[in-house]
């Protein structure tokens, strides 16, 4: 670790599980860390480890040239940052907002920051709290590349990989939303699958090795489908969407026979049937991408 990093100061606003993990990683790297949280008491362990507890967010941001924000959403971030004393204290300083929200909210916050002389980077954390400070952590950022480069030595102390995605301030949030779409749709599908399996007398542990097998086949399919979507080929050679719709109907029928809501799969099947109805029955499931994105053209 360089002397420059060791002498750096950083403020962390928001001490939920992720905020505490970020502050802890900064402390482990030898940085001077100031913390603040709306709910008192969450900074106790961090203070014991050497962090400084600020009495107010304005005091916290005034303590460092770099403030990292990690709260539940941008409503919570705005409630802190857009207080006049905090806004005034932030002028000329840098905010790195690692709060999850939408691309539109990121762009709105960047406009507010620019209007008040605040330097602003948006970002997202793509891995759980247990990865922070390790090589497994994944961070993405967007906004002024020069600003990201300036603060990279401090941000690197959080561990893992750090990718700057471009100057468009909303780009990190756009990646985050798309990736969360994959994650939560998959997790919702898994929860639904466990309910269907249980109704058929299969325990989650019994299903587990086969569910893990499904997980293994996904990465190569993601790669293939990415090419299909970008090239607009939508190949159905291996599995036409007519076959996909048929198997989806089996899930729906079995679920509803047990009184289990099948809304998620009904939505997926509905999209597949619309693609078939448009004359693309021999194409693959990625043809749905075009269906959903028609309004963009």
Q: Are residues 147 and 102 in the same domain?
A: yes
Q: Which of these, 223, 140, 126, lies nearest to 179 by C-alpha position?
A: 126
Residue 53: inside a domain: yes
Residue 197: inside a domain: no
pTM, two decimals, is 0.93
Residue 138: inside a domain: yes
Residue holding tokens 């639904």?
192
Phi, psi of 246 (to 5 degrees): -65, -45
Q: Are residues 21 and 152 in the same domain?
A: yes
Q: Are residues 255 and 127 in the same domain?
A: no
pLDDT digits (tens), the chain, 297 positions: 333 565 689 999 999 999 999 999 999 999 999 999 999 999 999 999 999 999 999 999 999 999 999 999 999 999 999 999 999 999 999 999 999 999 999 999 999 999 999 999 999 999 999 999 999 999 999 999 999 999 999 999 999 999 999 999 999 999 999 999 999 999 999 999 999 999 999 999 999 999 999 999 999 999 999 999 999 999 998 899 999 999 999 999 999 999 999 999 999 999 999 999 999 999 999 999 999 987 554
Q: Are residues 212 and 112 in the same domain?
A: no
CATH number where 46 lies: 3.40.50.720
Q: What is the largest CA-CA distance in the chain?
A: 66
Residue 253: inside a domain: yes
Q: Are residues 248 and 102 in the same domain?
A: no
Residue 177: inside a domain: no
Q: Are residues 105 and 42 in the same domain?
A: yes
What's the domain range around 289?
203-296
Residue 178: inside a domain: no
Tokens of 26: 């900064």
Q: Are residues 128 and 255 in the same domain?
A: no
Those residues with Cβ within 8 angstroms of residue 90's Cβ, 6 or more apart along the chain or in another chain? 61, 67, 81, 116, 118
Looking at 146, 167, 188, the residue that finishes a domain is: 167
How distant, in Å, are the alpha carbons of 3, 36, 72, 95 from that of 6?
Answer: 5, 21, 29, 20
CATH number where 263 lies: 1.10.1040.10
Per the structure, the count of domains in the chain is 2
**Separation of CA 250 from chain center:** 32
Q: Are residues 138 and 233 in the same domain?
A: no
Tokens of 259: 């009184």
Q: Are residues 163 and 231 in the same domain?
A: no
Residue 44, number of CB atoms within 10 A of its CB: 12
Q: Are residues 152 and 40 in the same domain?
A: yes
């Amino acid at each position: 670790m360089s002397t420059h990093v060791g002498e750096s100061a950083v403020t962390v606003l928001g001490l939920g599980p992720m905020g505490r993990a970020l502050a802890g990683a900064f402390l482990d790297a030898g940085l001077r860390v100031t913390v603040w949280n709306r709910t008192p008491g969450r900074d106790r362990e961090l203070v014991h480890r050497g962090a400084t507890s600020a009495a107010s967010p304005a005091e916290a941001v005034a303590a460092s040239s770099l403030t990292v924000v990690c709260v539940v959403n941008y409503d919570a971030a705005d409630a802190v940052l857009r207080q006049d004393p905090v806004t005034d204290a932030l002028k000329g300083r840098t905010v790195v907002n690692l709060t999850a929200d939408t691309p539109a909210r990121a762009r709105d916050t960047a406009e507010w920051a620019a209007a008040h002389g605040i330097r602003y980077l948006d970002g997202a954390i793509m891995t759980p709290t247990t990865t922070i400070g390790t090589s497994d952590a994944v961070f993405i950022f967007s906004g002024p590349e020069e600003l990201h480069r300036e603060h990279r030595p401090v941000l690197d102390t959080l561990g893992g990989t750090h990718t700057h995605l471009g100057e468009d301030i909303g780009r990190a949030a756009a990646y985050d939303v798309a990736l969360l779409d994959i994650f939560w749709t998959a997790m919702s599908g898994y929860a639904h699958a466990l309910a269907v399996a249980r109704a058929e007398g299969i325990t989650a542990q019994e299903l587990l090795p086969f569910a893990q097998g499904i997980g293994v086949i996904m990465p190569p399919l993601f790669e293939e489908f990415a090419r299909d979507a970008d090239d607009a080929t939508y190949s159905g050679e291996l599995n036409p969407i007519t076959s996909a719709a048929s198997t989806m109907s089996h899930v729906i029928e079995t679920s509803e026979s047990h009184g289990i809501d099948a809304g998620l799969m009904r939505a997926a099947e509905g999209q597949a049937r619309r693609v078939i109805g448009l004359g693309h029955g021999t194409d693959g499931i990625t043809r749905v991408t075009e269906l959903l994105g028609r309004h963009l053209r």
